[in-house]
Amino acid sequence: MIDSSLKKYCLIFLMLNLCGYIFYCFRKIYASPRGLAISQPKIAAAGLDLLLALSYILKMNRDLKTIDGFGEEWEKFDQSALDSKEHHLLFEKYFSIFPWHLLPQDAVGFDLGCGSGRWAQLVAPRVKKLYCIDPAEKALKVAKKSLSHHKNVEFCLASVDDFPLSPNSMNFGYSLGVLHHIPDTLEGLKSCVEKLKPGAPFLVYLYYALDNRPWWFRLLFKTSNLLRLLFSHLPQAFKGPLCQAIALFIYFPLARTAYRAEKIGLNVHHFPLTFYRDKSFYVMQTDALDRFGTRLEKRFTRQQIQILLEQAGLEKITFKESEPFWCAVGFKKAIFI
């Protein structure tokens, strides 16, 4: 397993070093009239260390509490209880626009934010090698277990801003439901596209801004988002049960109502939580925790995603016209010299 957590320990070392230097300098200043002059080199060194530490912190494109939250989510819902048929149906909902036929026989690619490894389980058999990347140790532990029988998978403990793959080396990549949970989505996309060979496809799923929904639907969402802002900051001991209650008393009744309404011929396109009308309660539990237990969440319109993907270096962008919104695939622009 590739472990890129070295930077974290370097940062801790720098901060401890800085504290030691500051303590040394203050002691010199108070111990001797000449202390200030004696301490100037040490102060300069401490300042340099501080700048190095701050520069690393500023470049971190991750939210540590969000990462911890997802680690706990995948540890609790490791997807081992997900029915095989439902697993394949969910996979097709995300990957139906992915150009499998364009991949070479010896394709090598990456899954950025692999979580439990649920998508990698169905991608790995189709390719020569797959890198599963996630910044949460707990999530990666679950993924390693679920993918233990796939010998062509390599695991990498890293975030989008530092995953150790060479530029222009991958035949494909995908990141589903991940890049809207980081501080800078555009930089995350650029980091992913950088790893692709020219002409290689990249599949992404980003939360939609309900831009294809009526006003009352968006109002309902804004109201429910207040619960997310509250629940996501609670300790796991409270957050987990509350999110499960939402799955039981909100997701399940609304989803099954949409299912029955569709059966009698009604149009349920704009019915709240209609996406879950044919999903198991296990999926609802997982997604309720994902939706209401996550601190950092961003949403984008289709037009905004189009612009983001183009700015990241993708072209020939195609959107999936049905739920989940928005899934899109693009190809890395060719490099002309």
Provide Rg for the chain, Cα atoms: 23
Tell me whether residue 265 is in a domain: yes
* Cα–Cα distance for residue pair 33/179, rounded to 1 Å: 55
- Is 27's pLDDT higher than 50? yes
Q: Are residues 48 and 125 in the same domain?
A: no
Residue 41 clears pLDDT 50, i.e. is over it: yes
Residue 151 in domain = yes
Please report whether residue 7 resides in a domain.
Answer: yes
SS3 128: coil
Tally of domains in the chain: 3
Domain membership of residue 10 (yes or no) is yes
Quote the CA–CA distance of 26 and 120 in Å, as a whole number. 54
Domain coverage including residue 320:
64-209+299-332
Nearest CA to 155 out of 166, 172, 165, 143 is that of 143
**Are residues 94 and 196 both part of a single domain?**
yes
| Comparison of pLDDT for 54 and 169, the residue scoring more | 169
Check: CB of residue 195 under 8 Å from CB of residue 315.
no
Residue 212, exposed/middle/buried by CB under 10 A (0-12, 13-18, 19+)? Answer: middle
Are residue 223 and residue 328 in the same domain, yes or no? no
Q: Are 75 and 166 contained in the same domain?
A: yes
Q: Is residue 318 part of a domain?
A: yes
* Shared domain check, 11 and 144: no
pLDDT at 60: 81
Q: What are the structure tokens assigned to 226, written together?
A: 């207040």
Enter the pTM of the model.
Answer: 0.82
Q: Is 231 domain-assigned?
A: yes
* pLDDT tens column, 288-298: 999 999 999 99
| 225-254 per-position pLDDT tens digit | 999 999 999 998 899 999 999 999 999 999
Q: Is 14 part of any domain?
A: yes
Domain shared by 51 and 109, yes or no: no
DSSP letter string over 240-287?
A: HHHHHHHIIIIIHHHHHHHHHHHHTT---TTSTTGGGTTS-HHHHHHH
**326 and 189 inside one domain:** yes
Same domain, 219 and 326: no
Beta bridge partners of 319: 328
Token digits of residue 161: 């801003």
Point out the domain boundary residue: 59, 92, 107: 59
Kindly state whether residues 23 and 154 are assigned to the same domain.
no
Is residue 337 in some structural domain?
A: no
Nearest to 133 by CA among 168, 157, 117: 157
The two tokens of residue 82 are 């997900």
CA-angle at 124, arms to 123 and 128, nearest 5°: 120
Here the tokens at position 295 are 């601190």
Domain at 155, CATH number: 3.40.50.150
Give the mean pLDDT of 272-286. 95
Give residue-wise pLDDT tens across range 203-224: 999 999 999 999 999 999 999 9
pLDDT (tens digit, 9 = 90+) per residue, 141-177? 999 999 999 999 999 999 998 899 999 999 999 999 9
Residues 220, 95: one domain?
no
317 and 171 in a common domain: yes
Bond into 324 cis (ω within 30)? yes
- Same domain, residue pair 167 and 303: yes
* Tokens of residue 328, six digits: 């899109």
Q: In this predicted structure, which of 15-19, 133-137, 173-177 has the lowest mean pLDDT?
A: 15-19
Give how far Cα 176 sits from Cα of 91, 145, 173, 179, 204, Å.
11, 20, 10, 8, 5
Last residue of one domain, picked from the residues 10, 33, 59: 59
Q: How confident is the model at residue 6 (pLDDT cuts 50, 70, 90)?
A: very low
- Domain end call among 19, 37, 59: 59
Q: Are 303 and 325 in contact (CB under 8 A)?
A: no
What lies within 8 Å, CB to CB, of 49 at 6+ separation is: 14, 17, 18, 21
How far is C-alpha 93 from the chain's CA centre? 18
CA atoms 133, 236, 82, 298: torsion sign: negative
Two tokens, residue 163? 């995953």
Six-digit token pair at 262? 């569709």
Strand, coil or helix: what is 178? coil
